[in-house]
Chain A
């Protein structure tokens, strides 16, 4: 039990730190935040900004004010010359779009990385393995946004198979939606596929040398069955590990990819608001992304522990 408590405590500490970090960003702003955010807005808007953020009070009070609002889903406001507007409305429509993008690229990753990893481990050392490995090594060195531009040119501009950018909501046609997401999801997935595949491969090579596999082979079990049933199963933990590793990259990647492909998700929203100097909104979006990342990582961690009880003892000890 104490293990779970520890995890929980750790989670709380990290969440507090991360949220505090998101909050104090505002204090990093050179000069007066009100002037930076709402330079020429009407006095009423400026007053409300001051009031909403409690800028005159000490930082702990500011933070508490922000945190209690944030935890109730109040993500602050835009303070524009044309008035004050809720940030949460935009986040509400942007978040699902980002999640779609990340989900699709996860699906692509799993669909491609597992077979590639399995076969290259099975045929380790063959030309297939070498080819896949070399490609993966290269793929890792291509930034996802660069790959996105290359794909947009080749598939979009030259071949005209898919749109080079833009997003179509599923309600406006599922096929159009999928078409609009293929290139962004692919650009985001390629690096991930390479990462997953390489780890899975080395993991499986080790597994394939273990006794129980040799036994199974000796018993005359078909190699396909050995490969997919027996050898892959222990690697599920590795896959989970990689998933944990890659969530951060996925989030960061999605942010840039959304800008490249003009997908109206959290990344585009973030970029738009940075340009418009709407730093209250920027702060909230950063907090959401960071907290989302912490939560997902914790979940993966817990799942990991659940699947492999050995970890619990090691971790409790450490």
Chain B
């Protein structure tokens, strides 16, 4: 059912409508990467490079390096391309270093979601019956809470008293957002697994007496992966955005520990919008391009592998 599938996707975070929108009539058989696709790949590669190398990159200083004498410099002054914030941090460096925190949370949470949701979905789709009913109900219930609210509730309660929390903020975020993405990724896996487990080669494997686990692992999973992958791409974008939303709500990664795109938007957005808008717009643009790229790639993958959300 479209409705159900839609709910599954839309129940993601603040802005899922796009993710939910099926390609509709435009299901073009073999979509080429095109300009958009290439752009997306290059941008994402750049972001990942920044996240991995961080302050090793030339011209990028670590977060601990401050330029207090140049504090509040506008872009292209005092040798700082994107300016300096009012505490002496180079904006460009913060963006590069911040990519790491943002991506850690995003990839971490989606990986957790894939692991948990993917395996549950696979089991549900493969075994069907009561197992399926049970797992699907769990997914249903998880999706019955608006995703951002679920994430916020989990983060704030897992964190508890910020004075005493032992877990680093990122771990809490990864756990919470991982749980939130579980039913989304789980559902698409289940739907896909449901279709594939009825195919001849799976039947054949079963008839030959192969163990269930082996069939799931060797026969079903590889076929499920494209669908899972395309939704995972969208989820990464959604989680990056969610990290920003949670920062605004005061439960993101603390800025004094490390910058992330989300906490930069939250901090500068609430204090520098007037006097230094570039501090706010720089991470917003990064966030936007990254989400756009992930959505574009997700579309390409879906078109390539003919993943139809209507099957969710």
What is the interface of chain A, defined by CB distance below 8 A to chain B?
Answer: 13-14, 17-18, 21-22, 25-26, 28-31, 35-36, 39, 136-146, 149-150, 152-153, 157, 164, 191-192, 194-196, 198-199, 201-203, 205-206, 241-242, 244-249, 251-253, 255-256, 259-260, 267, 270-271, 274-275, 277, 279, 282, 286, 289-290, 293-294, 297, 301, 304, 314-315, 318
Contact = CB atoms under 8 A, between A and B. Distances in A.
Query: Which of A146, A195, A242, A301 has the most chain B CB within a 10 Å cutoff?
Result: A146
B230 to A, nearest CB: 15
B7 A255 contact: no
B182 to A, nearest CB: 14
A234 to B, nearest CB: 14
A259 B149 contact: no
Interface string B171-210: 0000000000000000000000000000000000000000
B2 A241 contact: yes
B277 interface: yes
A194 B18 contact: yes
B2 A142 contact: no
A39 B274 CA distance: 38
B22 interface: yes
Contacts of B245: 143, 145, 252, 255-256
B305 to A, nearest CB: 19
B250 interface: yes
Nearest to A36: B161
Given A194-B18, A251-B149, A256-B248, 9 more contacts: A141-B295, A157-B277, A195-B21, A246-B10, A259-B249, A267-B249, A274-B250, A293-B149, A294-B144
Contact of A290 (B144, B241, B280): B144
A29 B157 contact: yes
B146 A290 contact: yes
Interface of B, secondary structure class, is helix
Interface in B219-255: 237, 241, 244-245, 248-251
Contacts of A271: 249-250
A22 B14 contact: no
B22 A30 contact: no
A313 to B, nearest CB: 13
B273 interface: yes
18 contacts: A14-B140, A29-B157, A30-B164, A30-B166, A137-B18, A142-B284, A146-B284, A153-B273, A153-B277, A164-B273, A191-B18, A199-B24, A244-B7, A244-B10, A286-B152, A286-B153, A293-B149, A297-B144
Contacts of A21: 141, 145
B280 A244 contact: no
Contacts of B284: 142, 146, 149-150
Given A31-B164, A146-B288, A246-B10, A293 B145 contact: yes
Contact of A149 (B12, B154, B160, B280): B280
Nearest to A15: B144
A33 to B, nearest CB: 9
B156 A191 contact: no
A123 B93 CA distance: 46
A297 B6 CA distance: 12
B145 A30 contact: no
Interface string B3-23: 100110111111111111111
A52 to B, nearest CB: 18
A198 B21 contact: yes
Contacts of B166: 30
A256 B14 contact: yes
Contact of A30 (B137, B161, B269): B161
Contacts, number: 228
Contacts of B19: 140
Contacts of B22: 199, 202
B285 to A, nearest CB: 9
B116 interface: no
B26 interface: yes
B147 interface: yes
Contacts of B2: 241
Contact of B17 (A245, A274, A289): A245
Contact of B160 (A29, A203, A293): A29
Query: Which of B15, B16, B157, B273 has the most chain A CB within a 10 Å cutoff?
Result: B15
A141 B16 CA distance: 9
Contacts of A289: 145-146, 149
Contact of A146 (B145, B158, B244): B244
A141 B18 contact: yes
B76 to A, nearest CB: 20
A255 B13 contact: no
A11 to B, nearest CB: 10
A314 B4 CA distance: 13
Contacts of B265: 145-146, 149
The 6 closest A-B pairs by CB, nearest first: A195-B17, A140-B18, A202-B24, A252-B148, A245-B10, A141-B292
A138 B15 CA distance: 12
B97 interface: no
Interface string B101-135: 00000000000000000000000000000000000
B65 interface: no
B158 A28 contact: yes
Contacts of B291: 141-143
Contacts of A318: 1
Contacts of A195: 16-18, 20-21
A277 to B, nearest CB: 6
Contact of A251 (B146, B280, B292): B146
A257 to B, nearest CB: 9
A35 B19 CA distance: 42
B311 interface: no
B6 A244 contact: yes
